[in-house]
Amino acid sequence: MADAPVVRPTPISGFPEWLPDVRMVELRWLDTIRATFERYGFCSVETPSVEALDALMAKGETSQEVYTLRRLQAEDDGDSSRLGLHFDLTVPFARYVAAHFNDLVFPFKRYQIQRVWRGERPQEGRFREFTQCDIDVINIDQVPLHFDAELPRIVHEVLTTLGVPAWTLNINNRKVLQGFYEGLGIGDPLAVIRAADKIDKIGSAGVEALLTGPVGLTADQARACLDLAHVRGSDSGVVEAVGRLGAKSDLLTEGLDELARVLDDLADLPPGSVVADLSIARGLDYYTGTVYEAKFVDAPGYGSICSGGRYDDLAGTFIRRHLPGVGISIGLTRIFAKLVADGLVGGGPASPAQVLVVIPSDERRADALATARQLRARGLNVETYHQADKLAKQIRYASRKGIGHVWFPPFGDDRPHEVKNMATGEQNPADPAVWSPAS
């Protein structure tokens, strides 16, 4: 018996971890995401978990709760204390591109699947450590608009393959918002965007009060802004609907043209999966064209599960090159944790093994090991139960781990190899040179 424990193994709030059956599903998700990103030619990049604090803070993102590092035993910790855990994958990507600019081929298309950290108060859907899956296309001076459509297509393929419950990817274009407000003769479009962005929280009446109050619009202007925020649709009907609202400006025309072209590129996707929503703003100071935001249809209040958009300048903080791009991020942990909480994930196998080779007696150990080796050489995942315990105990072990087949090594010349299918209970002779789990 071990000594009395000295530390309680309490989980830390906001830092999720999964049991093996759930982790097996998460691994499949990660495989699917990576395979889809690679099928579109994106390459993998990983950056360190930390960045210099001045790099993390360069854009003045003080709204993010950054974790800084400190060496436990350091007396003068001048060095480590200037390091912080990254709070997203955009800042590290920008620093990476600047650091390796001359070694990269442009247009540069990368995916990055990593944990990020935020010292926030944990709540539903908000974690302090979570995994983001980002793709971005950047180029020197310009990136074709077709990528603005390719990214939602990739996300659609990922979420559909994963079987994520009903979701909508909303698209907008920042030029439409800004151009529309300018067309109404509004002097401070950003103030309107900021107010309109609260429509989910305070409702139309609340936004209208903000617009006619602090923002200083006329009643007609405020009404037109609210009308814009209510425009939704999947095709060029959206452009016509906005046109009927009366505002006119070159920027609005340009934005509507971009939005229509992106929707047109995506016209083959199932209805409702990608929808133009003229109320979406996102990232006030960063995005300059297309913006994305995905939510669960049945739980819009759970928050954004994917987001991104087009930006003019990825890495100006770090390098004197003009690098526009477009990117989107899938909030893996946020999506996955919801499905776990809703009981939609888990309960499957807790082991990757397809076969458990039992050891009926020590005399048959050599045969058992040889069988396992033969099956593994054929690419099968095979576990050996290394102890000649009672067979019932070994079989029960396979059952509890969800291992689909139990293999009995041969016994002299009389009894050949046999395999028990744990789902059906059937036990039949089998040849380790050709047997497969599907057979």
Residues flagged as binding site: 88-90, 118, 132, 136, 282, 286-287
The structure tokens listed for 294 are 């995905």
Residue (14 or 416) nearer to a second copy, CB: 14
Greatest C-alpha distance within the chain: 95
CB closer to a second copy out of 23 and 415:
23
Beta bridge partners of 327: 136, 309
Whose Cβ is closer to a second copy: residue 223's or residue 365's?
Answer: 365
Range list of H helices, 100-168: 146-162
The least distance separating a second copy from the CB of residue 414, rounded to whole angstroms, comes to 26
Query: In sequence order, what are the residues at sequence separation of 6 or more whose Cβ sits closer than 8 angstroms to the Cβ of residue 437?
Result: 354, 355, 380, 404, 405
Q: Which residues are annotated as a binding site for L-histidine?
A: 88-90, 118, 132, 136, 282, 286-287
Residue (151 or 228) nearer to a second copy, CB = 151
Closest separation between CB of residue 210 and a second copy, Å? Answer: 27
Contact 158, 281 (CB under 8 A): no
Phi, psi of 349 (to 5 degrees): -60, 150
**Distance separating alpha carbons of residues 341 and 348, to the nearest angstrom:** 15
At its nearest, how many Å lie between a second copy and the CB of residue 413?
Answer: 25
The residue (of 115 and 232) whose beta carbon lies closer to a second copy is 115
Q: How far, in Å, CA of 407 to CA of 421, rounded? A: 9
Distance CA 94, CA 138 (A): 10
How far apart CA 281 and CA 284 sit, in angstroms, is: 7
Q: Is 278 helix (H, G, I), strand (E, B) or coil?
A: coil
